[in-house]
Amino acid sequence: MTTTATDRPASPPHATGDQRPGRARLVRALRAAGTLALVLLVLQLPVRIFVAEPLAVRSESMVPTFDVGDRLLSWKVGADGHAWQRGDVVAFHHRGQVWVKRVVALGGDTVSLRDGRLFVDGSRVRESYADPRLIDSVYFGPVRVPSGTVFVLGDNRGDSVDSRRFGPVPVDQIEGRIVATVWPWHRIATGVER
């Protein structure tokens, strides 16, 4: 029996050489995803530079406010001309790294620690954000904070490298104010206690 061209099974549509319909769709999807990722990256850069930046907590110096591994959001808008306040938690540059600490005194203030308790201009500061069990009984100061700087401390005073060691932080080194915890899910919170 002879077969004619009409007796042969038809080849599947779109199948040419090695390509299959699923592979072509996958290639198109990957190209679209790559384009989307590039667009998001381009849009993210100005946001991270000028608006807000996520930061990871790498030490226990801010316990109990933040735990190691928490992801924070540093709000940069207006940071350059911002009038910092006592109680602000800020991100700043120091020794080539970004640090997170709490502003406890401003330029012109006199700051001291007596038996682990914070005093600014001779008055004791009530610190509801600090766990008294984590505050060492150290004495420090009094020192006058120079104009154009802020004095920062970690909330975990017994385990914090801060202005007691490296001095006041120039305000032009402050990158932004910490406005939220964004990870892990069970610790998500907006606002930071003052």
- State the Cα–Cα distance between residues 49 and 125, nearest whole angstrom: 34
Q: Among 61, 74, 160, 163, which one carries the catalytic annotation?
A: 61
Strand partners, 140: 113
Structure tokens given for 34 = 């790559």
Assess whether 61 carries a catalytic annotation. Answer: yes
Burial (0-12, 13-18, 19+ Cβ within 10 Å), 101: buried
Bridge partners of 94, per DSSP, are 97
Q: What are phi and psi of 148, to 5 degrees?
A: 85, 10
User: Which one from 74, 76, 101, 163 is the annotated catalytic residue?
Assistant: 101
- Residue 73's SS3 state is strand
SS3 per-residue string spanning 89-153: EEEEEECCEEEEEEEEEECCCEEEEECCEEEECCEECCCCCCCHHHCCCCCEEEEECCCCEEEEE
Active site residue 137: no
Tell me the HSE value of 139 on the side-chain side, using a 13 A CA sphere: 3
* Catalytic residue IDs: 61, 101
